Chains A and B, each alone.
Chain A
Amino acid sequence: MNRIVSLAAMIILLISGCREPYNPEIEPADLSVLVVEGYLDTEGLPSKLKLSYTRNIQTENSFTPSYPDAIVSIRSEAGVDYPLTSLGDGEFEFAYDIPEEENYRLYISTTDGKSYTSELIKPILTPDIIDVGFVKNELGAEVFLTTKGDENADDFLWTYEETYAFRPKIPSSYKFDPETMDVVIRNPDERTDLCYRGGVSSDLILETSSKFENQFVFRQAITQILQDDEKLSVRYSILISQKALDKKASEFWEIMRKNSNDLGSIFSPLPSNIGGNIKNDQDPDAPVVGFVSLGTIKQRRLFINVREVIPWRAVEPAYYSCFVEPDTIMRADYAQSFASENFVPVVPIFPDGAISPIGYQGTPRRCSDCTLRGTNVKPDFWED
């Protein structure tokens, strides 16, 4: 059904439709709704619960968020209390191995005098991920996952975090040393020709295993890497988290997914007000956003190397119109050209028979320095 969205978008293009920025005047609604996020591990692995507030839609990214101070705990129906440890900035850590057959509630009391209670939560043990892999298709490469549901775990949520290695358009191992006023080879910790970047994806992938034979979810598409995307230009890694959900949690995530992806096109569904499984004790009608679950998270990491998907050439808009300047910068002009660090040496020019270069051809830093867009520190999990 998601296709309808793209379909509608196409038809709009066809009939010379148009998309323009829209900034309506919104009543300055003083909406400071508590947001609770957490999928807490029941087998003792430290996991986080996050508390925050909603903020005005027009708030810029650069704002400083304020987080609620609170006392948070999980309590079993039998009355055993598991307090969470505050980590600051609205984050709380939960690290208990708790019995999975019991039911629990989450209790939050914020310092502004309000208290919140969740509905009963039943832990769900997530089945293992059977396989992750990728397949080349006409759009590029698709990452998939295979798993199998069971009698407790029918609905699944997958989220993922991507990390990839990349090179700048014009790699260089040289730098200008202001002390010696000369061009030198960079140290390994200063290298700018291979970096890593990535992040948590906002995609939410939901599926119900009972739709398939024997609850076998075969090669569920997780993400599509478009052909020639920089992500796969060197080596790519994806960490997929699999969480089993109960029916109500899956409804919550489905609303969140729909509210994020499916809005605004002609045939998209009406937006839905999102709630969750937490209520304000003082005012049960007051909105609270968030669905807290208990269970286990299963993760698998996949690496894909560019050699596995060739042909693949990196096309990255950040490096458009990058080339090596043909003019040779002579030694005397090094300071003038390279000292600002906006221009970096790339190609040494050796006269016939010379041992040391007479000068360097250079390129703008943005074309050569990958640390502008990533980090040159290899992540701990990285396997080459």
Chain B
Amino acid sequence: MKKALLLILVSCFFGQLKAQTTTQKFSGMYLGVSFERFAERIESESDYSFFYKKEDVENLQVNLQANNSDIVMILNQVFAATGLTYSIDSSNRIWISKGDKIQVEFPKDYFIVQDRQDNLANAGDSLSAFDKNKRFTIGKSSDNPQSKTAVLSGVVTSIESGKPMNGAIVLEKVDYNQIATDQNGKYQLTLPKGRHTIWVQNIGGFQEQRQIDLKGDGVFNMSIEETILSLDEVVVSSGALSNVNKLDMGVQSITIAEVKRLPAVLGEVDVLKGILIMPGVNTVGEATAGFNVRGGAADQNLILYGNSTIFNPTHAFGFFSAFNADIVSGVELYKGSIPVNYGGRLSSVLQVDPKFGRSEKIGGSGGIGILTSRLSLDGPIGDKTNFIVGGRTTYSDWALNLLDDEADLNDSKITFYDINANIQHTINEKNSLELTAYLSQDDFRFDPDTTYSYQNMNVALGWKHFFNDELEGKFTVGSDNYEFGIIGIENPLNSFKFSFDVHQLFLRSDFEYRKNENHILTFGLHGIQYSLNPGLNQPYGAESIVIEKELDNESAREVSIYFGDEYTISENLSVSYGGRYMLYQLLGPMSVNQYVDGAPITESNLIGVENFDKGSTVKTYHGPEFRVSARYTLDNKSSIKGGFNTMRQNIHLLSNTSSISPTDSWKLSDTYIRPQTGGQASLGYYRNLAKNRLEFSTEVYYRYMANLLDYRSGANIILNENIEQDVLNSDGKAYGVEVLLKKSTGVLQGSLAYTYSRSLMKTSDDPSVEKINNGDFYSSSYDQPHHLVLTANYELSKRVNTSLGVNYSTGRPITLPISKFDYAGSERVYFSERNAYRIPDYFRVDFSVNIEGSHKIKKLAHSSWSLGVYNLLGRSNPYSVYYTPVEGQLRGYQLSIFAQPIPFITYNFRF
């Protein structure tokens, strides 16, 4: 950390030295020019800059001829008998004033004092105090003198750790230019040349300021204090604060600090549940981690941990997310304009950013909750490498044991764990490596006969290389794996073991090229090699007579290239445009059923089987994706944005249930199941209110989708060799409006999000045996028109923070039994048209309190308590309704998952 400070200091001294030793000479004729023109010419020929009041020099004309003259000689002549005086400071700034000279020299002992302070152990405060009062000159005015603006860039590091700060906001408060630093603490701002006060604020940290004089493009590195000293925690969400200025639309960010304050089920901090407070994000119920973005299915969300695709981001059947909040630095959800470097899913991209280790000391954090405990450790390995490793495990068995007598849960068992390990290594200034690894495993059984398990395993290695100031490249290679299995041993003769797995190897290269301040070009290549085992059923144990059944393995490759440009046309208008081109090939060996052309795909229309050899191409799909968005700034406080994008998706989740279940399997596009395609157009208005304390935004969107999957009545999904006979090619459309009001400052913070949205499907016009609801549009299972989320945080004191969450949404659609009849000796039900009815509306209030321990720096561990109540009102929100015969009479029941207030408490610590 001292290095960075030293660097700043050294550069200051160096600048000074240079100013004192070089004396620039000027030659030329200045006849009858205004002082302003004169000053501009001098500024353009040298690194001198003038500072004056316009009215002081209004009537001043310059008439002189210089011949290798010193600036002092020239200025003396210019100001002779004008009543104006001037002074030149060490940075070659010329200060013009009426009457008295401006004092520009530092006291002689000024820097000596600074040197002495630098030797102190804790130099941070005084140094930053010094930084605050100093005006830094950035760049040379001789660079690119025509331009009125210049690019200010640099790295923000922590004073305490010296680590780059991710997500710190660098802000200029006059025109409200701002940017959040990236993972490496880097920022870049384009500002008008001249003096500025730059504010910098870490998430939850103090705001600090720096005075700069921006003369040309230049680097300005800053060290600021980290959270730990700050009692006044102010959470700044990078996405939201700059909503008005950002070019992206439909992007929602949430910090882990925000997630941690949300009341959680059983106190488990859950990043996936955190995104449900955002407008446009719905869920069909509490027992699923699947979420629906803008009327899309749950499998249309690309969930990335770093660059790794997570196929099942849940634990315990979807009750908890499989991300350890201590290993995550932030979450961003792209639902509107999806950046051109992402692709492969129709609805959204959920980017979960991994956390990397500290570089100054080894420390850790952890928590003890009702159901799980977690622990993580991070720190440096040598100078250039840091690591973080974390794990989480459950001990929920005790809860099951408590229920044993009543619920007959003998031998039931739920175990899960997840492990993360991330390593970051800086090779040199231009090269760095990042390794992220993730493993999550679930095993559960509720009777001794059947055991379920599933596992995610991901590893990715990235190499970041700065070719030069303008071009930056990142190369990533990785492997993503997901598998699940069921072992049934009820009867030794019929014992079986079922397994499914999907594996993908990926390679991607992403480049960012900044030609000048108006263009940021991104381009790259993304390749995925899929290999998928759709299902294998084996006999289990020596006595079993189950015949082994295995579906053909599927393998495919997907290659995408992309190019995008973020183009600042004028101060007010920016556009981002680009495209991807995706090539997808399903590869052999494989046998493909052949059906009568133009007839429905049914067993009776099966006319043969075509066999493909290993490596041969079974089916190729390719097509472009377009991404266009534009922002027009109306004034400092408001802007409008519009966008249009198209997407393609080659991997589908086969799910016949209303929510995602862990036994849902993935399927690659094949001859009959075509890639899902879709497009979205959106328009938004953004406005900051009440001196930027309130932020308002609204977006409308319309989406269309093709080749969605719905299922025939009674479709069988598991181990179905002819799955194409059971799926129905469907079209979809979705539209809606989202409104968000957010307050991110002050003692009371929070947000209010309202969404009106519809999501409809219809069986496509292709020939098919069954048209759901006669081929008309019907509500999809996640069509919930009204959705309102209120979250409010109130800071009672620096250590006690209370949080309230209110959640309302229309009940999801359901197919209800509407009549009954007798058949096969029992009363049976006859169902309505698909999704013709809705379950009752959902309404829930949660409350939590977070209590921080003392904020002394020197103590063993910093601890905090989280306690609260989930579903405070104890409302039994139905998750589902169903009918079942009870003593011959059909009765309707509604099923709630959290039907009473659920209190929770968690202890967290950090060292």
Residues of A within 8 A of B825 (CB): 159, 161, 199-202
Judged by a CB distance under 8 angstroms, whether B236 is at the interface is: no
Name, among B266, B885, B896, the residue most crowded by chain A CB atoms within 10 Å (CB to CB). B896
Q: How close is A21's CB to chain B, nearest CB, in angstroms?
A: 6
- Going nearest first, the 6 A-B pairs with the smallest beta carbon separation are A264-B882, A202-B826, A200-B825, A18-B899, A272-B713, A255-B714
Q: Is the CB of B663 within 8 A of A4?
A: yes
Which residues, 253 to 283 on B, are CB-close (under 8 Å) to A?
265-266
Give the distance in Å from the alpha carbon of A53 to the alpha carbon of B878 in the complex. Answer: 31
Q: What 0/1 readout, one digit per residue, does chain A (176-214) give for beta carbons within 8 Å of chain B?
A: 000000000000000000000001111010000001110
Check A24–B657 contact: CB distance below 8 A: no
Chain A: CB-nearest residue to B319: A15
Question: A24-B837, A256-B824 known; A251 and B714 CB under 8 Å?
Answer: yes
Asked if A57 and B824 make an inter-chain contact with CB atoms under 8 angstroms apart, the answer reads: no
Whether the Cβ atoms of A17 and B896 lie closer than 8 Å is yes
B residues 430-454 near A (Cβ < 8 Å) are: 444, 446-447, 449-450, 452
Distance A251 CA – B604 CA, assembled complex (angstroms): 14
Is A52 an interface residue, CB under 8 A from the partner?
yes
A contact residues around B488 at 8 Å (CB): 3
Query: Is B657's CB under 8 angstroms from A264's CB?
Result: no
On chain B, the residues within 8 Å of A221 by CB distance are: 491
Query: Within the complex, what minimum Cβ distance (angstroms) separates B875 from chain A?
Result: 11
Chain B residues in contact with chain A, CB under 8 A? 265-266, 285, 287-288, 316-317, 319, 396, 399-400, 403, 406-407, 409, 412, 444, 446-447, 449-450, 452, 488, 491, 493, 545-547, 549, 603, 656-659, 661, 663, 711, 713-714, 716, 718, 774, 781, 815-834, 837, 876, 878-885, 888-900, 902
Q: Which of A29-37, A295-303, A319-327 contacts B (4 or more CB under 8 A)?
A: A29-37
Q: In the complex, what residues of B have CB within 8 A of residue A55's CB?
A: 819-821
The A1-46 residues at the B interface (CB cut-off 8 A) are 1, 3-4, 6-8, 10-24, 26-27, 29, 31, 33, 35, 37
Task: Report the nearest B residue to A3, measured CB to CB.
Answer: B450
Q: Is A56 part of the binding interface, using a Cβ–Cβ cutoff of 8 Å?
A: yes
Contacts known (A202-B885, A267-B663); A17 close to B898, Cβ less than 8 A = yes
Which B-chain residue is minimally distant from A90 (CB atoms)? B822
In the complex the two chains form, is A267's CB within 8 Å of B899's CB? no
Inter-subunit contact A266/B837 (CB<8 Å)? no
Q: Is A377 part of the contact surface with B, judged by Cβ < 8 Å?
A: no
B888: chain A residues within 8 A (beta carbon): 61
Q: Tell me the complex Cα distance, A7–B445, Å.
A: 8
Output the residue of B287, B409, B711, B837 with the most chain A CB within 10 A.
B287
Residues of B within 8 A of A27 (CB): 818
Give chain A residues whose Cβ lies under 8 Å from the Cβ of B400.
14
Contact A213 B407 (CB under 8 A): no
Name 15 extra pairs, CB < 8 A, besides A26-B816, A202-B826, A273-B815: A11-B316, A15-B898, A17-B897, A18-B896, A22-B893, A24-B881, A55-B820, A57-B819, A159-B825, A213-B545, A259-B829, A266-B317, A266-B897, A270-B711, A274-B831
> Bound complex: CA of A290 vs CA of B315, how far in Å?
42
B372 to chain A, nearest CB (A): 14
- A247 in contact (CB, < 8 A): yes
Q: Which of these, A35, A59, A273, contacts B833 with CB under 8 Å?
A: A273
Interface contact B819-A56, CB-CB below 8 Å = yes
Report chain B residues within 8 Å CB of A10: 407, 409, 412, 446
Q: Which residues of B contact A270 (CB under 8 A)?
A: 656-658, 711, 781, 815, 834
CA distance A271 to B656 in the complex (A): 9
Q: How far is the CA of A351 from the CA of B881 in the complex (A)?
A: 64
CB distance from A226 to the nearest CB of B (A): 11
Contact A260 B819 (CB under 8 A): no
On chain A, the number of residues with a Cβ less than 8 Å from chain B's Cβ atoms is: 77
Residue among B657, B821, B832, B898 with max Cβ neighbours from chain A (10 Å): B821
Choose from A26, A56, A266, A272 the contact partner of B714 (Cβ within 8 Å): A272
- Evaluate whether A52 and B885 lie within 8 angstroms (CB atoms) in the complex, with A7-B446, A213-B547 already known: no
| A27 CA to B603 CA, complexed, in Å | 37
Cα-based distance from A216 to B837 in the complex (angstroms): 44
Contacts of B834 in A (CB 8 A): 270, 273
Residues of A within 8 A of B (CB): 1, 3-4, 6-8, 10-24, 26-27, 29, 31, 33, 35, 37, 50, 52-57, 59-61, 159, 161, 199-202, 204, 211-213, 216, 218-219, 221, 247, 251-252, 254-256, 258-260, 263-275, 285, 289-290
Residues of A within 8 A of B407 (CB): 10, 13-14
Whether B549 pairs with A12 at a CB distance below 8 angstroms is: no
In Å, the complex CA distance between A199 and B824 comes to 12
Is there contact, CB below 8 Å, between B718 and A1? Answer: yes
Residue of A nearest to B831 (CB): A271
With both beta carbons as reference points, the residue of chain A lying nearest to B829 in the complex is identified as A259
Give which listed residue, B820, B883, B890, contacts A264 with CB less than 8 A: B883
Give A12 to B879 CA distance when docked, in angstroms: 11
Are A14 and B403 in contact (CB-based, < 8 A)? yes
> How far apart are the CA atoms of A312 and B630 in the complex, in Å?
78
Shortest A247–chain B CB gap in Å is: 7
10 A/B residue pairs, CB under 8 Å, sorted by A:
A6-B446, A11-B319, A52-B822, A56-B820, A57-B883, A202-B825, A211-B546, A212-B547, A219-B491, A263-B883
Q: How far is the CB of B440 from chain A (nearest CB, A)?
A: 18
Q: Is the CB of A272 within 8 A of B831?
A: yes
CB distance from A378 to the nearest CB of B (A): 22
Given the complex, which residues of B lie within 8 Å of A21, measured CB to CB?
A: 891-894
From residue A147, how far is it (CB to closest CB) to chain B in Å?
A: 14
Chain A residue at minimal CB-CB distance from B894: A22
Distance of B127 from chain A, by nearest CB (Å): 52
Shortest CB distance B490–A (Å): 8
Query: Do the beta carbons of B409 and A54 come within 8 Å of each other?
Result: no
Cα of A265 to Cα of B892 in the assembled complex, Å: 13
Cβ contact of A57, chosen from B403, B826, B829, cutoff 8 A: B829
Q: Please report the C-alpha to C-alpha distance between residue A52 and residue B603 in the assembled complex, in whole angstroms.
A: 31
Q: How far is the CB of B840 from chain A (nearest CB, A)?
A: 8
Most chain A beta carbons < 10 A, residue from B546, B774, B837, B883: B883
The distance in angstroms between the C-alpha atoms of A16 and B871, with both chains bound, is: 12
Q: Is the CB of A26 within 8 A of B837?
A: yes
| B828: contacting residue among A1, A7, A256, CB under 8 A | A256
Q: Is the CB of A271 within 8 A of B820?
A: no
Whether B826 pairs with A14 at a CB distance below 8 angstroms is no
A34 vs B133: C-alpha distance when bound (angstroms): 88
Q: Given A4-B661, A16-B898, A18-B876: A35 and B823 within 8 A (CB)?
A: yes
| Chain A residues whose C-beta falls within 8 Å of the C-beta of B831 in the assembled complex | 259, 271-274
Residues of B within 8 A of A255 (CB): 713-714
- In the bound complex, CA of A61 to CA of B452 (Å): 41
User: Is B818 in contact with A26, judged by CB distance below 8 angstroms?
Assistant: yes
Name the B residues within 8 Å of A14 (CB-CB).
396, 399-400, 403, 407, 409
A211 with B781: CB separation less than 8 A: no
Contacting residues, chain B, for A20 (C-beta < 8 A): 876, 893-894, 896, 899
B486 to chain A, nearest CB (A): 8
What is the CA–CA distance of A172 and B353 in the complex, to the nearest angstrom? Answer: 77
When chains A and B are docked, how far (Å) is the Cα of A6 from the Cα of B452? Answer: 13
> Counting chain B CB atoms within 10 Å of each CB, which of A4, A14, A216 scores highest?
A14
Q: Which residues of B contact A159 (CB under 8 A)?
A: 824-825
Docked pose: A49 CA to B242 CA in angstroms: 72
* CB pair B897 A267 closer than 8 Å: no
Q: Which residues of B contact A33 (CB under 8 A)?
A: 819, 821, 830
Chain A residues with Cβ below 8 Å from B285 are 266
Residue of A nearest to B664 (CB): A267
B396 to chain A: closest residue by CB: A14
Q: Are A218 and B818 in contact (CB-based, < 8 A)? A: no
- The complex places the Cα of A362 from the Cα of B879 at a distance, in Å, of 51
Asked if residues A35 and B821 are in contact (CB atoms below 8 Å), the reply is yes
CB–CB A52/B403 < 8 A: no
**Residues of B close to A289: CB separation below 8 A:** 821, 823, 830
Q: A128 to B216: give the CA distance in the assembly, Å.
A: 94
CB distance from A256 to the nearest CB of B (A): 6
User: How distant is the Cα of A59 from the Cα of B888 in the complex, in angstroms?
Assistant: 12
